[in-house]
Structure 1
Amino acid sequence: MKILITGATGLVGKALTQLLLQNGIKVNYLTTSKSKIKYQPNYNGFYWNPESGIIDENCLIGVKAIIHLAGANIAQRWTSQYKEEIIESRVLSTNLLFNTLKNNPHHIKQFISASAIGIYPDSQKNYYTEDFTNFNDSFLSNVVVKWEDSVNQIERLNINVCKLRIGLVLSTKGGALPQILKPIKFGFGAPFGSGKQMQSWIHIHDLVAMFLFALQNDLSGIYNAVAPFPVTNQELTSEVAQIIDKPFFMPNIPRFVMKWYLGEMHTLLFESQNVSSQKITQAGFDFKYKTIHAALEDLLLGK
């Protein structure tokens, strides 16, 4: 089997590519950097530029499914210009894939796209399942709604579409965990705000395994890609401190401090989303890291 991946050189893309190759699945990948194009027996790169509408259609040859991960990193200061880039990097890349599939012969049967739990409103009371549709007008929610809308058009081509709404990805190679670790290592760890905001997280191992599961089981529809037991920010940060044996006694970090430091992006640290993983487990997916303790022990201690 051969699949096409976008965003293959990112945090999730690298881990997923490795897993696919280990499982005997050949990988074509799209990259905006010609210097990252490689030609290997089971791993081949192809150039694209979504902003300019350029794509090497040869990327589709022999491909049965597409896994779409491409999108600008949201963990950068949200200037007006960068906000546009966050949206356009997701929508334009999906539109280009749609038009390429529409206008070229291919054998694509399935399209699996990354999405995000940022679509759900900030709430310490709600428990979000995939059926929730009362989205608010926040920047992140709007990004994900536009992203998913662009993905939905793929269904018009009689292709099976699956969207994985990803939570806080835990990895030592990138994402939030290295940033959480920094102050704790120096004894300055503290929860953000009240510390009561719910963080729906997932170990990188389980996330890429879920993409493979969706591929192998031809899943369609929306699935939350989060572990079964979300935690509060207080629990997450104190658990990190405990596992690496560091003190954890500093006062909580006020919201206004992080707003001054990060701008609008500070909402990533303070918004609360308690998200259900029941639908994916009912589909038969088995998490290796169900609890935050097990996940952090593996990542930080290699246990």
Structure 2
Amino acid sequence: MKVLITGATGLVGNGLIKILLQNGISVNYLTTSRNKIANETNYKGFFWNPIAGEINENAFDEVDVIVHLAGANVASRWTNSYKQEIIESRVKSTKLLYKTLDKINHQVKQVISASAIGIYPNSLNQVYQEDFSKVDDSFLGRVVNHWENEVAEFEKLSIKVLKIRIGIVLAKEGGALQKMTQPIRYGLGSSFGTGEQFQSWIHLQDLVNVFYFAITHKLEGVYNAVSPYPVTNKELTKAIAKQLNKPLFLPNIPKFVMKLLLGEMHEILFSSQNVSSRKLLDKGFQFKYAALDKALQDLLK
């Protein structure tokens, strides 16, 4: 089997490449940086430029599965130009993959795309399953909806399509956890707003395993990639502080303060999504770090 990965240099891409190679699965990857192109027996890089519509079609040779992870990081200030980049990095890259597959001979049977739980509306009461159809009326909600609609186009080519809606990824190397722990380490930790908003999270290793599971079990449709045990922002903040053995004594940070600091992007911190992973569990997937305490012990030790 051979898998083609976009966004291969990110946290998930790096982890997925390791597990694929360990299990004898060859990897091709697309990169926008020519100096990141490797050429080994089971690991080969190919250049592409989704904005310019450029792609090396040799990347698709003998590929059975495409894992599409490429997309600009949403955790940067949402200026108008950067918002455009967030959208285009997802939509144009997906369109380019589709157009290429539509015109070449290939053996691709499955396309797996990253997505996000940001598609679900902000709610303190609703528990979200994959069949919930209403889309959050926010920038992130619209981005994810547009992204998923583009990915669905691959079905026209008789290819299985899977969209993995990812929660807050907790990792050692970067991402949300690093940003959350910094103020807590200095004794300046605090919850956001009421702290009652639900934050559906997943350990990076479990997320990588979800993608591997999806490949080996030929999943299609939509699956939520979140721990079975979501927590509130208050609970997450307390758990991090406990693991770091740091006090929490400051008042909660009001919404308007974060809006001043981060602009529209502050919505991510205050949005509440209680997301279910029941569908994934019913397929037989087993989480290594289902409980937050166990995940934090591993990541912050």
TM-score range, shorter chain: over 0.9
DSSP-derived class of the 1:40 partner: coil
In the alignment, is the contact (CA less than 8 A) between 2:118 and 2:136 conserved in 1?
no
**Within 2, Cα distance between the matches of 1:238 and 1:140?**
27
1:2 aligns to 2:2 (yes or no)? yes
> Partner letter of residue 293 of structure 2?
H
In the alignment, does 2:156 pair up with 1:156? yes
Cα displacement (A) at 1:20: 1.2
CA deviations on 1:247-295 (whole Å, 9 max, x unpaired) are 1111111111110000000111110000000000001111111111111
* Contact map agreement 2:171 2:177 (CA 8 A) in 1: yes
Matches within 5 A, 1:20-31: 20-31=20-31
Counterpart CA distance in 2 for 1:168 and 1:132 is 19
Do 2:163 and 2:221's aligned partners in 1 also have CA atoms closer than 8 Å? Answer: yes
Tell me, in whole angstroms, the C-alpha distance in 1 between the residues paired with 2:124 and 2:142: 20
Pairwise CA distance, 1:136: 3.2
Q: Classify the secondary structure of the residue corresponding to 1:290.
A: coil
Does residue 1:236 correspond to 2:214, yes or no? Answer: no
Partner SS state of residue 111, structure 2 = strand
Match of 1:69 in 2: 69
TM-score by length of 1: 0.98
How many angstroms does 1:137 deviate by?
2.2
Determine the structure 2 residue equivalent to 1:182. Answer: 182
Provide the secondary structure at the position in 2 that maps to 1:122: coil
Query: In structure 1, how many angstroms separate the alpha carbons of the residues matched to 2:198 and 2:47?
Result: 39
| 1:100 and 2:100 matched | yes
**Secondary structure of 1:39 counterpart:** coil
Please report how far the alpha carbon of residue 21 of structure 1 lies from its aligned counterpart in structure 2 after TM superposition: 1.2
Aligned residues of 2:122 and 2:136 also touching (Cα < 8 A): no
In the other structure, the counterpart of 2:18 is: 18
**Cα distance between partner residues in 2 of 1:248 and 1:293:** 17
Give 1:85's aligned residue: 85
Distance in 2 between the 1:43 and 1:93 partners? 21
Pairwise mapping of residues 1-303 of structure 1 onto structure 2 (< 5 A)? 1-301=1-301
Q: Give distance in 1, aligned partners of 2:150 and 2:135.
A: 17
Percent of matched pairs sharing the same residue: 58
TM-score calculated relative to the size of structure 2: 0.99
1:261 & 1:120 partners in 2: Cα distance? Answer: 25
Distance 1:214 1:121 in 2: 26
TM superposition shift of 1:34: 0.6
Stretch deviating more after TM superposition (94-103 or 245-254) = 245-254
* Paired residue type of 1:107: Q
CA distance in 1, matches of 2:247, 2:178: 17
Distance 2:64 2:128 in 1: 32
Say what the alpha-carbon RMSD is for the aligned residues.
0.7
Unpaired runs of 5+ in structure 1? none
* C-alpha contact 2:6 2:31 (8 A) present in aligned 1: yes
Aligned AA for 1:186? Answer: Y
Question: What does the per-residue CA deviation read over 1:44-79, in whole Å, with 9 as the maximum and x for residues that have no partner?
Answer: 100000111100000011111100000000000001
Secondary structure of residue in 2 paired with 1:111: strand
* Cα offsets for 1:11-52 (capped at 9, x unmatched): 211111111111111110000111111111211100000111
Q: Which amino acid aligns with 1:62?
A: E
Residue identity in the other structure for 1:185 = R
- Measure the CA separation in 1 of the matches of 2:21 and 2:187: 40
1:51 alignment partner, SS class: coil
For 1:81-102, what per-residue CA distance to the aligned partner results, in whole angstroms no more than 9, with x for missing partners? 1111101100100000001100
Kept in 1: contact 2:72–2:86 (CA 8 A): yes
Letter in 1 for 2:93: S
